[in-house]
Structure 1
Amino acid sequence: MRKYAIGADIGGSHISCAIIDLDSKNLVEGTFASEVVNNKAEATDILDSWAAAINQSLAHITAKELAGIGFAMPGPFDYEKGIALFTSQNDKFEKLHGINVVDELRKRLKIDSQSGIRFMNDATAFAVGEDWFGMGKAYTRTLSITLGTGFGSAFIANGIPVVEGNEVPEMGCVWHLPYKDDIADAYFSTRWCIKRYLELSGVEVSGVKQIADEAETNKIAKQVFIEFGNNLGELLAPWMNKFGAEALVIGGNISKAYRHFGESLEEALKANGCSTEVHRSELMEDAAFIGSARLFDEDFWKHVQPLLSKM
Structure 2
Amino acid sequence: MEVLGVDIGGTNINAGRVEGESIINQFYIEVDKEDSEQQTLERLFKCIDKLVSDTTEAIGVGVPAVVDCLKGIVYEVQNIPAWKKVHLKRILEDRYRIPVYINNDANCFAMGEALFGKGKLYKDCIGLSIGTGLGMGIIIDNKIYNGVLSGAGEIGMVPYKDSILENYASSFFFTENYGLSAKEVHDRAKQGNDIALKAFSEFGEHLGQAVNTILYVLAPEAIILGGSISKAYPFFKKPMEKIMDSFAYPEQIKNLKIELSELTESAILGAASLCYQKTENIKQVQ
Bin of the TM-score, shorter chain as denominator length: 0.7 to 0.9
| Structure 1 residues 277 and 220: CA distance shift in structure 2, 3 A | same
Structure 2 partner of 1:26: 21
Unmatched 5+ residue regions in structure 2? 282-286
Q: Quick check: 1:290 aligned with 2:269?
A: yes
**2-side partners of 1:243 and 1:300: how far apart?**
28
- SS of structure 1 residue aligned to 2:156: coil
Q: Quick check: 1:97 aligned with 2:87?
A: no
Listed as ranges, the matches of 1:275-286 within 5 Å are: 275=254, 276-283=256-263, 286=265
**2-side partners of 1:300 and 1:176: how far apart?**
33
Q: Quick check: 1:175 aligned with 2:156?
A: yes
Contact kept, 8 Å, 1:47 with 1:104, in 2: the verdict is no
Aligned partner (choices 159, 162, 169) of residue 145 of structure 2: 162
| Structure 1 residues 5 and 45: CA distance shift in structure 2, 3 A | same
The range that moved more, 154-163 or 266-275, is 266-275
Shift of 1:13: 0.5
| Structure 1 residues 76 and 239: CA distance shift in structure 2, 3 A | closer
TM-score of the two chains, using structure 2 as the length reference: 0.86
**1-side partners of 2:47 and 2:81: how far apart?**
21
| Structure 1 residues 301 and 72: CA distance shift in structure 2, 3 A | farther
Contact kept, 8 Å, 1:179 with 1:235, in 2: the verdict is no
Amino acid of the residue matched to residue 4 of structure 2? Answer: I
**2-side partners of 1:251 and 1:28: how far apart?**
19
Q: Give identity over the alignment, percent.
A: 27
Structure 2 partner of 1:186: 167
Q: Quick check: 1:48 aligned with 2:42?
A: yes
TM-score of the two chains, using structure 1 as the length reference: 0.79
Amino acid of the residue matched to residue 233 of structure 1? Answer: G
Listed as ranges, the matches of 1:1-311 within 5 Å are: 3-21=1-19, 25-29=20-24, 31-58=25-52, 62-63=53-54, 65-86=55-76, 90=78, 92-106=79-93, 111=96, 113=97, 115-163=98-146, 171-197=152-178, 204-205=179-180, 207-215=181-189, 216-272=191-247, 273=250, 274-275=253-254, 276-283=256-263, 286-297=265-276
**2-side partners of 1:39 and 1:271: how far apart?**
43
Amino acid of the residue matched to residue 187 of structure 1? Answer: Y
Structure 1 partner of 2:284: none
- SS of structure 1 residue aligned to 2:157: coil
Unmatched 5+ residue regions in structure 1? 198-203, 303-311
**1-side partners of 2:67 and 2:220: how far apart?**
28
**2-side partners of 1:136 and 1:98: how far apart?**
32
- SS of structure 1 residue aligned to 2:112: helix
**1-side partners of 2:39 and 2:228: how far apart?**
27
The range that moved more, 71-80 or 236-245, is 236-245
Shift of 1:253: 1.4
**2-side partners of 1:256 and 1:148: how far apart?**
10
Runs of 4+ in 1 over 6 A off after TM superposition: none
- SS of structure 2 residue aligned to 1:175: helix
Contact kept, 8 Å, 1:18 with 1:27, in 2: the verdict is no
- SS of structure 2 residue aligned to 1:294: helix
Amino acid of the residue matched to residue 18 of structure 1? Answer: G
Amino acid of the residue matched to residue 187 of structure 2? Answer: D
Number of positions where the alignment pairs a residue of Structure 1 with one of Structure 2: 273
Contact kept, 8 Å, 2:122 with 2:221, in 1: the verdict is yes
- SS of structure 2 residue aligned to 1:144: strand
